[in-house]
Amino acid sequence: MQIAIDGPSGAGKSSVAKAVAAKLGIVYVDTGALYRTVGYYVRERGVKKEDTAGIVACLPHIAIEVRYENGAQHVYLNGEDLGDRIRQPEISMYASAVSAVPAVRAFLLDTQRDIAKKNHVIMDGRDIGTVILPNADVKIFLTASCEARALRRTRELAEKGIKADYADVLREMNERDHNDSHRAVAPAVAAPDAAVLDNSDLTPEQTVEAVLGLIRRKVGNVL
Ligand code: DC
């Protein structure tokens, strides 16, 4: 089983995907963490976000491994688990920048497809339904208003102990969404066969129910 959940940042993709994965007993794959890991490395090397050649030159020095430990995804960069260090707002901007580089997308393609080949998955990202798993059983494009998303992201960061101001989060989110949905390669758009779900006015629980409803409609009563 392959379930693709795409959409802009802060739409709640990861929370809903985690809950659905737990209900269905399948693996949750957070593909944004892979781009964040590349972004982290690029930043550590002192390469600028705009330096495409510098980003590409980093790739041969990056080994990424995804492991599942007690049901949670861990991404290892050259043998080291970076944990929440990849969640910093600065790394979000780097992730968005490196994700627009075609060589980075190609570099991460097999890692994503391999996980989906070996497991039943619910995978969240920007291009899962359009590029990574074009034959996914269920495709959902989860979205919400910019304000609702920025508010949620600010709270989420606060819960992780990362200080962030709502106005900064909103501005950076708009910038990142623009980059992600206007880039030439694999832009963050809904696949033609995706169900679009706007959860601006839904609670997390209602979003999970709505997503489970879409899954049931597509693949029958899986619960
Ligand atoms: O989902 P996220 O916020 O952790 O993703 C970080 C960045 O990575 C996001 O701004 C765009 C990029 N990304 C992507 O281009 N394709 C994916 N499948 C997942 C993330």
Mutation pick for ligand 1 pocket among 28, 29, 30, 35 (CB with most ligand atoms within 8 Å): 35
Over residues 179-197, the mean pLDDT reads 93
Q: Which of 154, 59, 55 is nearest to 101 (CA)?
A: 55
User: For ligand 1, which residues put their CB under 6 angstroms from it?
Assistant: 9, 31-32, 35-36, 92, 95-96, 99, 125-128, 176, 180
DSSP of 53-116: HHHHHHGGG--EEEEEETTEEEEEETTEE-GGGGGSHHHHHHHHHHHTSHHHHHHHHHHHHHHH
CA 150 to centroid of ligand 1, rounded, Å: 16
Query: Which structural domain, as residue segments, surrounds residue 152?
Result: 2-218
Domain harbouring 88, CATH code: 3.40.50.300
Residue 20 lies in a domain: yes
Residue 50 lies in a domain: yes
Residue nearest (by alpha carbon) to ligand 1 atom 9: 96
pLDDT class of 222 with cuts at 50, 70, 90: low
pLDDT recorded at residue 220? 83
Residue 58 lies in a domain: yes
Residue 223 lies in a domain: no
Residue 80 lies in a domain: yes
Over residues 91-116, the mean pLDDT reads 97
Q: How many domains does the chain have?
A: 1
Over residues 6-29, the mean pLDDT reads 95
Distance of CA 205 to the CA centre of its chain: 20
